[in-house]
Amino acid sequence: MRSKDTQLKVDPVCGMDLSEYTDVVEIFHQEKGFYFCGKGCEDRFKKNPSRFQGEPLIKLDNIWKIFKLGETETKVLTGLNLHIWEGDFVAIIGSSGSGKSTALNMIGLLDRPTSGRIFLNGEDVSLLNDDKRNGLRSKTFGFVFQQYNLISWLTAYENVNLPLVFSGKKIEMKKLEARFEKMGLKERLTHRSFELSGGEQQRVALLRALVNDPEIILGDEPTGNLDSATGNKILEILIDLNRNRKKTLIIVTHDADIAEKADQVITFKDGHLVRDHQAHKKAYTE
């Protein structure tokens, strides 16, 4: 994508590489030049310039993902550059097939790129071996998917407890019970997951995602299968974790109402970001 002789123009906020564009205006701050994909990122930067000159929590650098099926190559991520900042609520939007889920899987270390580098807290994690990646993933990320992915023959409690079995961490039974109670699932601890409603299953999935106390929560259309009232409750819980427990929250969504609540909206097209992401309506906390 990027030829050697073009000057690198990276939006410090969203990480988008603007080198290919000839109409991007250079903006000076304290005598240093910066480029922005649009007003949303420029405004965020101006509110807190020092924050966005630091190291992003997550940085994707020129990520390509090419699937090969026989002779056919599908280029799903095409030179994706992206920054995610600690403590942000980020909504990833874009049309079906634009690579959102594939990108989320890269961020969560569930899949490896064909090429490119992934940094977590400034550390290059792209070349870690499977053991190290698995350890880092279970310590750092909590996943909430559209399909709840519970194991149907295990009880709600056993499903939630599963990540602890893998990580070797322990949590007091009383504490876990209190969490079930807080989610309105006190009476459902010993139900097998096929005996639970969709909303209950998603809340169990959420408890499971949070049991290791992850720093980053990744949701791929987490409310996509739920009616709007139940979906809103799940969303409320996720946003509360972001606002009050400082979890970085990244949600892939088709729902404009969710995107409207986010600190940062990232729009995908054909496997990379497009310029001038949707305007942010929320007042920023930074």
Tokens of residue 164, six digits: 């602890």
Binding mask 100-139 for Mg ion (x = CB under 5 A): -x--------------------------------------
Residues in the chain: 286
Torsion angle (degrees, nearest 10) of CA 104, 239, 44, 21: 20
Q: Does 159 bind Mg ion (CB under 5 A)?
A: no
CB-hemisphere CA count at 13 Å for 269?
A: 6
CA distance 246 to 98: 29
- Let me know the angle formed at the C-alpha of 129 by 102 and 75, rounded to the nearest 5 degrees: 25
Choose, by CB under 6 A, the member of 45, 63, 102, 150 that binds ligand ATP: 102
Binding to ligand ATP (CB under 6 A) within 60-79 occurs at 67, 69, 74, 76
Contact 34, 12 (CB under 8 A): yes
Residue written as tokens 């002779």? 71
Choose, by CB under 6 A, the member of 96, 130, 131, 283 that binds ligand ATP: 96
Picked from Mg ion, ligand ATP, none, the partner binding residue 96 (CB below 5 to 8 A depending on kind) is ligand ATP
Q: Does 82 bind ligand ATP (CB under 6 A)?
A: no
Query: With respect to Mg ion, which residue has the nearer C-beta, 101 or 264?
Result: 101
Picked from ligand ATP, Mg ion, none, the partner binding residue 54 (CB below 5 to 8 A depending on kind) is none
Query: With respect to Mg ion, which residue has the nearer C-beta, 52 or 141?
Result: 141
CA distance 104 to 20: 25
Picked from Mg ion, ligand ATP, none, the partner binding residue 97 (CB below 5 to 8 A depending on kind) is ligand ATP
Picked from Mg ion, ligand ATP, none, the partner binding residue 231 (CB below 5 to 8 A depending on kind) is none
Based on DSSP, count helices (H) and strands (E) in the chain, helices before strands.
8, 12
Shortest distance, position 161 Cβ to Mg ion, whole Å = 28
CA distance 9 to 24: 9
Question: Which stretches of the chain bind Mg ion, using CB under 5 A?
Answer: 101
Question: Which stretches of the chain bind ligand ATP, using CB under 6 A?
Answer: 67, 69, 74, 76, 94, 96-102
